[in-house]
Amino acid sequence: MRVLFFGTPDFALPTLEALLAAHEVVGVVTQPDRPAGRGQRLQPSPVKRRAVAAGLSVLQPARLRDPGWPERLATLHAEVAVVVAFGQILPGAVLDVPGRGSINVHASLLPRYRGAAPIAWAIIRGEVETGITTFRMDPGMDTGDLLLQERVPIPSEETAGELAVRLARLGAAVLLRTLERLDPLAPIPQDHAAATFAPRLRKADGWLRLGEPAPGLVNRVRGCNPWPGAAMMTPGGRLLIWRATAGPATVAAAPGTLVAAGDGAIGVTTGDGLLLPTEVQPENRKAMRWEDFLHGARLTPGARLTEIS
């Protein structure tokens, strides 16, 4: 099948690889190069790098709503478009270019978690299951009719970055099955009343509110790894928490107080239970074990950590 591929980050690469192996990719549409790093030099997206290496035609529109793009894409004569984490909402005129429509690979069990960050928000909100959905795109945000879904459990220790790797691979497999069965598949309208939303994360979404229960704080730590990172303040500055578990509190103390947690461990009191960090990163330093940070910062039970305001 002649496929026009839309995608930008690493998450889209397994699907692009699967299409290269099984179909004819007639063109790749990705976001424009962006400045990155200390020198702020323009860097291509992961999808662009792979497409260039494969000798594919690459298009980088700043806005697909600008005049002329539907006509330009039509010259590629694609039968179907596949969209994976592209980063722009496709207008109806672009969606209608391929004769057999446009299909999105979404990392959630739609209609739940529509939007840009479904993996992170599923973890932050304590879901124990998620999945991949393929659906026929319409001009709305993730509102099109469903084609296939596959469910996977979310282990209690898994971070958003780790789950994204698993779902990217699964998305490639579900997309290939969708294309194989495209004609007999009967699209199913979404139950819009059951929709939930997963907006793009902001740095402030990672700020830990220590008055909340410890299990919810652990979910936020997992959902904000690798970006933006869950954070709180210590006497020496901002501290990122990359991994943590939750435990019961045996001492009544104000949220944010360091207390002994048995066997030499030290935890942080919360609104309910203890937050037990295991991997942290002080400002301008490398990640390290929580115990090593406490030793270096000379923090002992009774010290107070605070929220970022």
pLDDT in tens, 133-185: 999 999 999 999 999 999 999 999 999 999 999 999 999 999 999 999 999 99
203-262 confidence digits (pLDDT tens): 999 999 999 999 999 999 999 999 999 999 999 999 999 999 999 988 889 999 999 998
> Is residue 38 scored above 80 in pLDDT?
no
Residue 258: strand pairing partners: 268
> Is residue 279 scored above 80 in pLDDT?
yes
Q: Is the pTM of this model over 0.85?
A: yes
HEC sequence for the chain: CEEEEEECCHHHHHHHHHHHHHCEEEEEECCCCEEECCCCEEECCHHHHHHHHCCCCEECCCCCCCCCHHHHHHCCCCCEEEEECCCCCCCHHHHCCCCCCEEEEECCCCCCCECCCHHHHHHHCCCCEEEEEEEECCCCCCCCCEEEEEEEECCCCCCHHHHHHHHHHHHHHHHHHHHHCCCCCCCECCCHHHCCECCCCCHHHHECCCCCEHHHHHHHHHHCCCCCCEEEEECCEEEEEEEEEEECCCCCCCCCEEEECCCCCEEEECCECEEEEEEEEECCCCCEEHHHHHHHHCCCCCCECECCC
If you average pLDDT over residues 187-207, what whole number do you get? 97
**Predicted local confidence at residue 262, as pLDDT:** 85
Confirm if 86 and 162 have CB atoms less than 8 A apart. no
Confirm if 161 and 6 have CB atoms less than 8 A apart. no
Question: pLDDT grade, residue 24 (50/70/90)?
Answer: very high
Q: Tokens 């030099």 label which residue?
A: 41
Share of the chain above pLDDT 70, in %: 100
**Which residues touch 73 (CB under 8 Å, ≥6 apart)?**
4, 27, 29, 59, 94, 97
